[in-house]
Amino acid sequence: MMHLGYLAAAYAVVIGGIALYLRRLVARLAAVDRELSQLRSRLDAADRR
Amino acid sequence: MEAWLGLVGCAALAAAVVVALLVAPAAVGESVAQRILYLHAPSAFAAYGCIAVVAIASAVYLWKRSAAADRLAVAAAEVGVLMCTLVLVTGSIWGRARWGAWWTPDPRLTLTLILWAIYLSYVLLRAFGGDDEEIAPYAAVLGIVGVLAIPAIRVSARLMKGMHPSVLAPREGGSGLTDPSMRLAFWGGTVALLLVAACLVLLRARLERIERQASALRRLADAAEGA
């Protein structure tokens, strides 16, 4: 029964590691998407000038 | 595509975890920690898959100078390092439960650590090495040479006697996975983690493409505003 803690820790590491990486990827994708639309607006504004 | 791969991968992973924890019988003479195998070995297969993609995409980049191949190599290297980290951490936890030590200088463990270090260097080189176009050919060579560590790990397991168990090695009465539900947990977990890794690689490659697009647009916008 003592080894149950090791088992739980290993499964938590795999599932938690993948979930954290996925969350970070999705957050970065959203941030870059926002930056991309801001840059397009800046370029449109520069074109109009 | 990424969403479907992710959904199917997560569902398969959940099913594999249920089979591994609740259905597969305990291995003879092993503690409950033996069930770590059902995520530890599949993480290794996912890491090998990602690293093979890095090597192939790097070779295509060197041959064709394809930006898409370079982006795929960057993405697969990052996910490969993640999977390799999971292999090392879960292996260490299992080792502590089985041998009473977090780490032993076993050939397979040491070579896996070297594999991890090679691809971590690749990721760090791409992140902090400077201009992407300048650094990409050097990184591609590292990506191709590093893959040689994988056959070295497999050969070391056969030739050098270490403490690492060889579950799939043939033995009297079949492999170490004697029960069909054990094999289902093992191979189901492998397919699930390969699908999850593929989804992460595609998402990371998309992020790389958008980041490079944003960087080019940033330069254009700065130039247009400065003019």
The model's pLDDT over A4-19, given as tens digits with 9 standing for 90+, comes to: 899 999 999 999 999 9
B43 contact residues in A (CB cutoff 8 A): 14
Alpha-carbon dihedral angle through residues A19, A21, A27, A28, given to the nearest 10 degrees: -160
Chain B residue with minimum CA distance to A37:
B214
pLDDT band of residue B114 (cuts 50, 70, 90) is very high
pLDDT band of residue B15 (cuts 50, 70, 90) is very high
What is this structure's pTM? Answer: 0.91
**Helix (H) and strand (E) counts in chain B:** 7, 0
- Bridge partner list, B7: none
Structure ipTM: 0.90
B36 contact residues in A (CB cutoff 8 A): 6-7, 10-11
Chain A residue with minimum CA distance to B42:
A14
pLDDT band of residue A49 (cuts 50, 70, 90) is confident
Do B50 and B147 contact (CB within 8 A), yes or no? no
Average pLDDT, chain B: 89
Which of B96, B218, B222 should be substituted to probe chain A, the one whose Cβ sees the most A Cβ atoms within 10 Å? B218
Do B37 and B188 contact (CB within 8 A), yes or no? no
Q: Tell me, what's the pLDDT at B168?
A: 63
Q: Tell me, what's the pLDDT at B227?
A: 62
Do B59 and B144 contact (CB within 8 A), yes or no? yes
pLDDT at position B194 over 80: yes
**pLDDT tens-digit map of B120-178:** 999 999 999 888 888 999 999 999 999 999 998 888 877 777 767 766 665 554 557 77
Nearest-Cα distance to chain A for B170, in Å, is: 26
Q: Whose CA is closest to B42, among B16, B6, B11, B5?
A: B16
**pLDDT tens-digit map of A29-43:** 999 999 999 988 888
Do B55 and B144 contact (CB within 8 A), yes or no? yes
Which of A1, A2, A4, A13 should be substituted to probe chain B, the one whose Cβ sees the most B Cβ atoms within 10 Å? A13
Q: Tell me, what's the pLDDT at A48?
A: 79
Distance of alpha carbon B140 from alpha carbon B126, whole angstroms: 10
Q: Any CB–CB contact under 8 A between A37 and chain B?
A: no
pLDDT at position B215 over 80: yes
